[in-house]
Structure formats: structure tokens, C-alpha cells
Amino acid sequence: MTSRPSTTDDSAPASAGASPPGPSQTSPLLDLVIAGVSLAMGVALVIHAQDYRAMIPRTVIGPGLLLTICGVVFTGLGVTMGLGAVRRLPVGAPRGAAPQSLRFALLVPALLVAALAATPAIGFLPAAALSAFVLMKACGARWLPALGATLVLGAAVHLAFAEVMRVPLPAGSLF
């Protein structure tokens, strides 16, 4: 089944930058989810913005103004993008990332979170270097070169940041 050009493609052709899919290739289901998030966020923001007092009485001028504007725009965009996605739903099949590649993509933030979690024990630089090593391995690097590269990179980063620039990299309880 071929997918129809997106009805939300309402301006210039898509850039062929680094973003993997073009607008017409995106999953309408994902577009619908983003539209839903936009709508929910918009409504929540408009409600939340009412908590801030206006600087000039009987006007909306105050800390809540930009939040209100953002809320209104998000609500409008949610409706617009949602309608566009709904129109494509019966035609375009949901196209998510393949489970394996999704696991690879999630590995990067997972490694960074793991580095943050390991920092109190082994220090930030060793933890980040360890994450870099795991990423190298996950991308197919061999054990020994990956280990060597990690050590060289770790030493270079330590020299540049900790020694030359005097950045106080957090130490751990073990190192």
C-alpha cells in the first residue's frame, strides 16, 4: 500500500538534512501522538498560566502571558496536526522504528543515564568513559582497540578539561 502525500505538508519541500524520514514518510500514528501531546500541553499551559498574577490589573500582561500564548498555539497546532494525521490514518500504515534499531537508539541515553548513576561511585569521567566504551562495543568495535581508544580519549579529556581548563569533574567514592 502506498502512502498518500501528507496533508500537513503545507509549505516548502522537506529538507534532506539528517532527519531520517521526510514529512510524507512519517507515521500518521506518531503524528497523532504528537498532536495529542501538543493539545494536552496547550490546554494544561493555558490553565497553569492563570495561576500567575497580571502585572497590570485587568490585562494578561505578566509572567503568565508567554505561557498563555504558548498554550493557545500548542492547542491550535494540536488540532491542525491531529486533523492532518487522522486524514492519513486509513491509508498510511504505522511505521515505527524496527525493534532492534530502537534498542540501539535508546542505548545512547541509557548509557548516559547509567554514567550519571555510576558517578557517585566511580567519578564522572570514568563513568562517562565506560559508557563510551560500551557504545563503541555496541557499534561493532573490537575489544582491544575499543579499550585503547577509551583510555586515550579519557586521558585527553582529563588533560583538556580537568588540567588545562580546570573544570572540577566530580570524583567518585572509589576513584
Partner 1 sequence: MLDTLAQAMALVGTPTTLLAILLSCAFGLFVGAIPGLSATMATALLVPFTFYLDPIPAIATVIACTTMAITAGDIPAALLRIPGTPSSAAYTDEAHAMTRKGGGGQALGTLLVSAFLGGLFGFAVLAIAAPALATAALRFSSFEYFWLAVLGLSCCALVTGGSLAKSTFALFVGLLASCVGMDPLTGAARLTFGSTNLMGGLSFVPAMIGLFAISELMNGTQTGATGGVTRIRNPFAGVGTILRRYRVNLLRGAGLGTLIGALPGAGGDLGAWISYANARRASKTPEKFGTGHPEGLVEAGATNNAALCSAWIPATVFGVPGDAVTAIAVGVLFMKGLNPGPQLLTENPQNFYAVILIFLIANLLILPLGYLAIRAAGLIFSVPRAYLNGGILLFCAIGAFSVNNSLFDVGVMIGFGIMAWIFSRAAIPVAPVILGLVMGPLVERNFLTSMIASRGDFLGFFERPVSATLGVVTLLVWLIPLARIAWRKISATRSLRHAEAHASRHPETH
Binding residues among 126-155 for partner 1 as defined by CB under 8 A: 128-129, 131-133, 135-141, 145-146, 149-150, 153-154
Which position among 38, 39, 92, 118 is part of the footprint of partner 1 (CB under 8 A)?
38
Q: Confirm or reject binding of residue 16 to partner 1 (CB under 8 A).
A: yes
Angle at 56 between CA 51 and CA 61, to 5 degrees: 60
Q: Confirm or reject binding of residue 36 to partner 1 (CB under 8 A).
A: no
Angle at 84 between CA 103 and CA 36, to 5 degrees: 55
Q: Confirm or reject binding of residue 8 to partner 1 (CB under 8 A).
A: yes
* C-alpha atoms less than 13 angstroms from C-alpha of 47 in its C-beta half-sphere: 6
Nearest CA to 130 out of 140, 117, 166, 159 is that of 117
Q: By CB under 8 A, what part of segment 80-119 binds partner 1?
A: 80-81, 84, 97, 101-102, 104-109, 111-113, 115-116, 119
* Nearest distance from C-beta of residue 71 to partner 1, angstroms: 9
In the complex with partner 1, the residue whose CB is nearer, 167 or 174, is 167
- Residue 125 · residue 169 · CB < 8 Å: yes
